[in-house]
């Protein structure tokens, strides 16, 4: 039996995979803005107009010439003439065509364009209508309660940058610009393959009493992790047979891009044991290039990466927690790079409540629980007290994870750590 | 023109809407586990078996009787007899039928069941094979490098609690339990209606030069915010006409649940002005019950809530930022309650870099940017320097928001705040 190959550090592994995530090769597609939620913008979007598009009221009240209100007070109100709009529609008056002269005013609601001649809005609460006249109890300065044209965004200004993950309000911004189609990065399609004679498809079979076989978990976990960023295609379980695995790999990476089976890359899991590990890595090596195999991360040591038909193939551990660790530490940065995501995931800084042990020379992926004492405005963090990368409950009980760098000998109680929270 | 009604506090408003979010009425459906990603669990899921399901190796190495290794050292290795499996399959040996006697050992990989008779695993690196024998250089204690049956989860133990938002690893847990179908809360369907004569459908039209009309933004923003929790159905733009709005409201809330137009509730936006505000609230009042109208939040003051045909109707401001504020402060908690979400969104505690002003007597929804100084393990926060609830760029430039409670007169520089980050 072969022993471990030499492990490379997480940094070296990251550098190697990112070298293959060439953003220049990333494909771009143009889609309707209303389909762009959660997609990554592939162009800078500029404002096509000033925002606000015209000077407008920032408050409900009356548009006036500010000068006319000077000296007004509760005991000595200024009296202005109420102008009516020529165009009435439904219950609401329209501002088009209205012009305010000296000593005149016009009823206005927040957001309405300021009528010609006016330069300020006096708030409703400082006024009182008396027939065709208005009493004003407080003076305003010119520009008061007005949002000026272009005050927020000038025409031509970049409002959404390339690389932005589009959220609900960003799609709203596209709508507000009447930007009907938008360039986004195409979602790559990653095949998800589980290997192992011990695996059962949980949608189809159950182990009989005493049978030492387990459910294929990684197909679901890896698809779930991939989907927010790229498309996933479940290839299913491939048995531990050199030819079958080789055929499955080259099959999904060689077929025509019109085919349903076409994949831009593969995530192969399985082979948590030394024998199997070398087995899958061997197939990748024989089918193309094995870039590395074995990374100093825990869990996730038996992670590998190769290129077959010019496409990325990640070899991930069979144990779900190790597969998730390898996904978060290596596959996610790769997928982000391929899809042009420029944003970093936000972290929560939290104080370790107890020691989190870790060995120098490897990067640790530690599942943690976040705790918040009442009236305390900081989080505390506790590692989930189970070990073993087969232990899925260490994930389901956790709020997120902490990465302990390879040059650190654990985290002491009271030390601050960065927590990435499950989304 | 009517003046503002009396504003109620956010707390009162929240209490009122949550009183209508009766979890008992929430419908439950049973779906395949592989469709359960991002759904909310409506049952406790118990482990159907011990996990691990059998005693298994936690390391690659050799299964032995620990007692046989006592006294082993690099200079004085213990010699054990290598047992071969009767069943070989592919490259891998099977453990079934193997029994370890005194002075015997069996090659084992991480995750494999421990063969009968053995009680420990000696790691690969402390051994050397010599033909049919194995040298061991280090003693192990009984139980060493073994994951015991039920050590992680005992049969019958709750592994996923009702109310859990199911993430990739939780779906993996369901797979590992062979739990093929799972009870989740049904996604309610909320109709999204924008009202206003000034609105244009950005998918269909553009304003001509000089026309003072704007895009319907809220249909897209509110659908985007709703979708992760509930289904959204875009009703579109309804003009400022009492009868049209009344028909649209009763239409979508009265139709048969088989109809495409059927909605479990409504989010109506528009009416950022006092006149319009009362207008829509009036329609709701005439069609059913207006529970409240006017909340002391900024932006989002003109928010209202009513019940029509026994179903919830939120009246949201027309300005997108105000609509988002009202959504985050009132609609989201309501949707979470309706869908049984028990988890709180995680917050980031960050230090205010400058003063964030706010008035006592109202709750402020402040868009902020998170900053992180290099080598500093904490975030700083800065309010986005634009005001006005029409200003969508205050959202697109922000990383999240801070809520300043009504009894607080702003946040001082250096004070800690809780930031909710956009997801």
Burial pattern A336-369, b for ≥16 Cβ within 10 A else e, equals bbbbbbeeeebbbbbbbbeebebeeebbbbbbbb
| Contact flag B320-A169 (C-beta cutoff 8 Å) | yes
Report pLDDT for B389.
53
Within 8 A of B275 by CB-CB distance, chain A residues are 91-92, 109
Within the 174-213 window of chain B, which residues sit less than 8 Å (CB to CB) from chain A? 174-178, 180, 197-198, 200, 202-203, 206-207, 212
| Percent helix, percent strand, percent coil in chain B, to nearest 5 | 20, 30, 45
Query: Does residue A2 register a pLDDT over 50?
Result: no
Assign domain B10-26+187-338 to its CATH architecture.
Answer: 3-Layer(aba) Sandwich (3.40)
Sign of the C-alpha dihedral computed for residues B271, B277, B283 and B287 taken in this order: positive
Interfacial A residues in 92-111 facing B (CB < 8 Å): 92, 95-96, 107, 109-111
pLDDT at B74: 93
pLDDT at B5: 58
> Does any CB of chain A come closer than 8 Å to the CB of residue B348?
yes
Residue B46, phi then psi, degrees to nearest 5: -105, 155
- Say how far apart CA A416 and CA A381 lie, in whole Å: 9
Token pair for B381: 């926060």
Indicate the average pLDDT of chain A.
Answer: 88
Which ranges of B137-241 does DSSP label H, i.e. alpha helix?
Answer: 168-176, 218-226
Q: Is B324 helix (H, G, I), strand (E, B) or coil?
A: helix
Distance CA A10, CA A16 (A): 10
Helices (H), A263-374: 274-287, 320-326, 332-338
Picking from A112, A170, A217, the nearest residue to B176 by CB comes out as: A217
Mean per-residue pLDDT, A220-247: 94
**Distance between CA atoms of residues B263 and B310, nearest Å:** 12
Calculate how close chain B gets to A215, using CA atoms only, in Å.
5
B215 in A contact zone (CB under 8 Å): yes
DSSP 8-state code for residue B270: -
pLDDT for res A370: 92
Given 3.40.120.10, 2.40.50.140, 2.170.190.11, 3.40.50.720, which CATH number is that of A56-147? 2.170.190.11
Q: What is the dihedral of CA B181, B187, B188, B190, to 10 degrees?
A: -150
The encoded tokens of residue A386 equal 């189970």
The token duo for A108 is: 């206005």
Contact between A423 and A38 under an 8 Å Cβ cutoff? The reply is no
Cis amide bond preceding A52, omega within 30: yes
Chain A segment 352-391 residues within 8 A of B by beta carbon are: 370, 377-379, 386, 388, 390-391
Query: Which residues of chain B does A331 touch, with a Cβ-Cβ cutoff of 8 Å?
Result: none
Residue A358 has pLDDT above 70, yes or no: yes
Distance CA A319, CA B70 (A): 31
Closest CA to B105 of B85, B86, B90: B85
Q: What is the pTM of this model?
A: 0.87
For chain B, say whether A44 makes contact (Cβ under 8 Å). Answer: no
At residue B25, the pLDDT reads 56
Q: What is chain B's pLDDT, residue by residue, as a tens digit (423 residues)?
A: 344 457 999 999 999 999 998 765 568 999 999 999 999 999 999 998 887 888 988 888 999 999 999 999 999 999 999 998 765 544 445 677 889 999 999 998 877 889 999 999 999 889 999 999 999 999 999 999 998 888 878 899 999 999 999 999 999 999 999 999 999 999 999 999 999 888 999 999 887 877 778 899 999 999 999 999 999 999 999 988 899 999 999 988 987 777 888 899 999 998 655 555 568 899 999 999 999 999 999 889 889 999 999 999 999 998 899 999 999 999 999 999 999 898 878 889 999 999 998 888 999 999 999 998 766 788 999 998 655 555 788 889 899 999 999 999 899 999 999 999 998
In the predicted structure, residue A5 carries a pLDDT above the cut 70: no
Q: Quick check: A154 pLDDT over 80?
A: yes
What is the domain partition of chain A in residue ranges? 10-27+187-338, 32-51+153-185, 56-147, 348-421
CB contact B252 to A (< 8 Å): no
Predicted confidence at residue B394, as pLDDT, reads 84
Secondary structure (3-state) at B123: strand
Find out whether B218 and A172 touch, Cβ atoms under 8 Å: yes
Residue B75 has a CB neighbour count (10 Å cut-off) of 6
Number of H helices, E strands in chain A: 8, 28
Q: Is A399 on the interface with B (CB under 8 A)?
A: yes
Residues in A touching B172 (Cβ below 8 Å):
217-218, 220-221, 224, 320, 392, 395
Overall fold of domain B32-51+153-185 = Molybdopterin biosynthesis moea protein, domain 2 (3.90.105)
Topology adopted by domain B348-421: Beta-clip (2.40.340)
Q: Using the predicted structure, report yes or no on whether residue A48 has a pLDDT greater than 70.
A: yes
Could you give the CA distance from residue B198 to residue B276 in angstroms, rounded to a whole number? 12
Place of tokens 């847990």: B173
Q: Is the ipTM of this complex over 0.90?
A: no
Report helix, strand or coil for B329: helix
* CA distance to partner chain A, nearest, from residue B34 (Å): 7
- Looking at domain A10-27+187-338, its CATH architecture is 3-Layer(aba) Sandwich (3.40)
């Amino acid at each position: 039996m072969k022993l471990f190959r030499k492990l490379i550090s997480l940094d070296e592994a990251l550098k190697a995979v990112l070298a293959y995530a060439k953003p220049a090769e990333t494909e771009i597609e143009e889609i309707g803005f209303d389909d762009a939620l959660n997609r990554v913008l592939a162009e800078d979007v500029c404002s096509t107009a000033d925002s606000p598009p015209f000077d407008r009221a920032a408050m409900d009240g009356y548009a006036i010439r500010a000068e006319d209100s000077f000296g007004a007070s509760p005991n000595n109100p200024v009296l202005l003439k109420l102008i009516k709009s020529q165009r009435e529609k439904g219950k609401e008056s329209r501002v088009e065509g209205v012009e305010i002269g000296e000593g005149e005013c016009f009823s206005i609601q927040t957001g309405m364009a300021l009528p010609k001649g006016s330069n300020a809005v006096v708030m409703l609460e400082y006024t009182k209508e008396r027939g065709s006249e208005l009493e004003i109890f407080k003076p305003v300065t010119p520009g008061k309660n007005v949002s000026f044209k272009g005050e927020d965004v000038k025409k031509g200004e970049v409002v959404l940058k390339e690389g932005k993950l589009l959220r609900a309000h960003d799609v709203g911004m596209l709508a507000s610009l009447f930007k009907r189609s938008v360039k986004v990065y195409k979602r790559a399609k990653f095949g998800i393959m589980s290997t192992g004679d011990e695996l059962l498809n949980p949608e189809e079979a159950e182990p009989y009493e005493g049978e030492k076989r387990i459910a294929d978990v990684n197909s679901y976990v890896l698809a779930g992790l991939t989907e927010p960023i790229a498309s996933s295609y479940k290839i299913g379980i491939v048995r531990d047979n050199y030819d079958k695995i080789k055929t499955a790999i080259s099959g999904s990476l060689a077929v025509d891009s019109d085919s349903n089976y076409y994949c831009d890359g593969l995530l192969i899991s399985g082979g948590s044991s030394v024998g199997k590990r070398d087995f899958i890595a061997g197939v990748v090596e024989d089918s193309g290039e094995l870039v590395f195999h074995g990374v100093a991360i825990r869990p996730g040591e038996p992670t590998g990466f190769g290129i077959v038909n010019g496409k990325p193939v990640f070899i991930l551990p069979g144990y779900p927690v190790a597969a998730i660790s390898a996904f978060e530490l290596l596959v996610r940065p790769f997928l982000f790079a391929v899809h042009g995501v420029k944003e970093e995931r936000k972290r929560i800084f939290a104080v370790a409540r107890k020691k989190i042990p870790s060995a120098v020379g490897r990067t640790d992926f530690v599942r943690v629980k976040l705790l918040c004492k009442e009236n305390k405005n900081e989080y505390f963090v506790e590692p989930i007290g189970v070990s073993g990368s087969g232990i899925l409950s260490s994930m389901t009980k956790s709020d997120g994870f902490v990465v302990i760098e390879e040059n650190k000998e654990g985290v002491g109680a009271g030390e601050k750590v960065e927590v990435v929270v499950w989304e």
